[in-house]
Amino acid sequence: MQLDSKVPGGPLSEQWDKHRCELKLVNPANKRKFNIIVVGTGLAGGAASASLAELGYYVKTFCIQDSPRRAHSIAAQGGINGAKNYPNDGDSIQHLFYDTIKGGDFRARESNVYRLAQASVDIIDQCVAQGVPFAREYGGLLANRSFGGAQVSRTFYARGQTGQQLLLGAYSALSRQINAGKVEMFTRREMLDLVVINDQARGIIVRNLITGEIESHDADAVVLCTGGYANVFFLSTNAMASNVTASFRAYKKGAFFANPCFTQIHPTCIPVHGTFQSKLTLMSESLRNDGRVWVPKNPGDKRPANQIPESEREYYLENQYPSFGNLVPRDVASRRAKEQCDIGKGVGETGLAVYLDFAEAIERDGRDIIEKKYGNLFQMYEKITAENPYETPMMIYPAIHYTMGGLWVDYNLMSNLEGLFVLGEANFSDHGANRLGASALMQGLADGYFIIPYTIGGYLAGTSRKDITTDHPAFKDAVKMVKARMNNLLSIKGKRTVDDFHRELGLTLWEHCGMSRNEEGLKKAKEHIKGLQEEFWQNVTVPGREKDFNQSLERAGRVADFLEFSQVMIEDALERKESCGGHFNEAFQTDENEALRDDENFCHVSAWEFKGDDKDPEMHKEPLVFKNVELTQRSYK
């Protein structure tokens, strides 16, 4: 099968404008005749729902939480990129485009990334108009700060609460449409299956998490904005409810899953502190603007930080990468932190941490200035660790944070399944093998506010569909399968808890498919997880009933999907015999231990097709063609 990316021709800077003009339009009076389902209410889902309803479509929006305001987008802290060049430091759309392509280690589609850089300028204006309280300079202009992988200041921020403030902006726009009757909001619903009729996505099956009732909903198009799958690792910075189920159900109905092995490790997380810890906490990348990363020069030095003199400190990022220093991209900073800990220079009780020190910044600018920039982050750190980061350095260590892989989409953000659109972190399209900091919020809002309103209209106007209702046999069959699966889980009555299986799965993936991978470890993990999956379906215990508020049943379904999906991740990692971005295969590295790409054989997107429960998935390739940037070895020195 040929994957058609539907990228328009012509110069890169003119493609999106040209494409918008060529897309078919829906008459304003006809828009109200179309029903659209949006799953997820983070920045991508909230923006899409509000924008589509504003245009006149009837929208059904589903969220797994009790309110759209609780979407995981709220956890993003540091900022959102926008190529507005307010500091007059040389930024441009072209610079943001290049930084994003390079930061993703040349494994993203040029056209999608350039469009994202173009949209970034309008996103900032949109959010300001909504009342998002971005930080401002003394004269009133919006303030900017730097982020990893860039040598300009292009990141707009609201202290350490940027995601929360942007989500409130999208939520206010969504609420307006709910009040106007154009959006029907379904809270506490979990999507458990996608309904495909005549090779078109025509609806979803959801479970009411309060009553246990199974519901069917039909539509002319389905928009998935369900986030990433980082919780497959058990310990991650994601919200506890984040999962892969919606995407994986779509995959099993025919949507291709692209680059599942591309997962991001964030370098500035609070280290693991206990065996029974259930999640990790991110300390914003913005802290690397003023914080200096260091370890003791001598391995095994366990003195407190304030007893280690300057001459005995190793500022390893500043020394190895003089051009970018502490602001190298996340994959690079994470590997270097692991490297320091592996040679015995790690700090803290476990030795799996490095210091992030603000002493110099506080002395230079004063505590008041640092508190205005990062006060809530410092407060959060102190609450969790009982240490004051104004007086002692923070301790940080890499952790799973984001997933660059996701369902394959074309330039219109539609999957290979007609009528199934995928936005934000749930798709693969913009970040390649490593996401630059402050780009997740940018992508979610670009997809929701500025791309899907055009492209979904082109689909609805240009594609014929039969009228269907939830009485169609495809809906009834999907409901039967969903109920049978839940009854199966409840009937096992085994001896191991869901969390016990999930924790073992996560540890296996972290060890063998985490910050570094090798063929032997990946094959070992694949066999172990296959056995773990078999034991899960024989020995898991899920108390309660189907028609109840049953969080054990919720988690069991998600972990069952994680167990199956993780094998696709590993298959993808085994197939990609190179290192790029967050996929670091130990057999492919430079003399300086940096990722070594193989552009001749692996300059492509790996899109995996489900072939059956008892068969291996089939890989399809979308070649990546670079006409506007030169494929070079990444360097941040």
3-state secondary structure 99-157: HHHHHCCCCCCHHHHHHHHHHHHHHHHHHHHCCCCCCECCCCCECCECCCCCCCCCEEC
| 108-143 confidence digits (pLDDT tens) | 999 999 999 999 999 999 999 999 999 999 999 999
Is there a contact between 131 and 169 (Cβ–Cβ < 8 Å)? Answer: yes
pLDDT of residue 572: 98
- For β-strands 292-296 and 58-62, DSSP reports them as unpaired
CA distance 69 to 60: 17
Q: What ranges make up the beta strands (E) of 161-291?
A: 183-186, 189-197, 200-208, 214-218, 221-224, 257-258, 263-269
503 in active site: no
Structural domains of the chain, ranges and CATH numbers in brackets:
266-400 (3.90.700.10), 473-597 (1.20.58.100)
Residue 128: Cβ-neighbour burial (10 angstroms; 0-12, 13-18, 19+): middle
| 540-582 confidence digits (pLDDT tens) | 999 999 999 999 999 999 999 999 999 999 999 999 999 999 9
Q: Point out which residues pair with 282 in neighbouring strands.
A: 269
Residues of the chain with pLDDT under 50: none
| 372-384 confidence digits (pLDDT tens) | 999 899 999 999 9
- Which residue of the set 69, 330, 517, 597 is catalytic? 330
Collapsing DSSP to helix, strand or coil, 418 comes out as strand
Is there a contact between 556 and 498 (Cβ–Cβ < 8 Å)? Answer: yes
pLDDT of residue 461: 97
Residue 121: Cβ-neighbour burial (10 angstroms; 0-12, 13-18, 19+): middle
3-state secondary structure 434-458: CCCCCCHHHHHHHHHHHHHHHHHHH
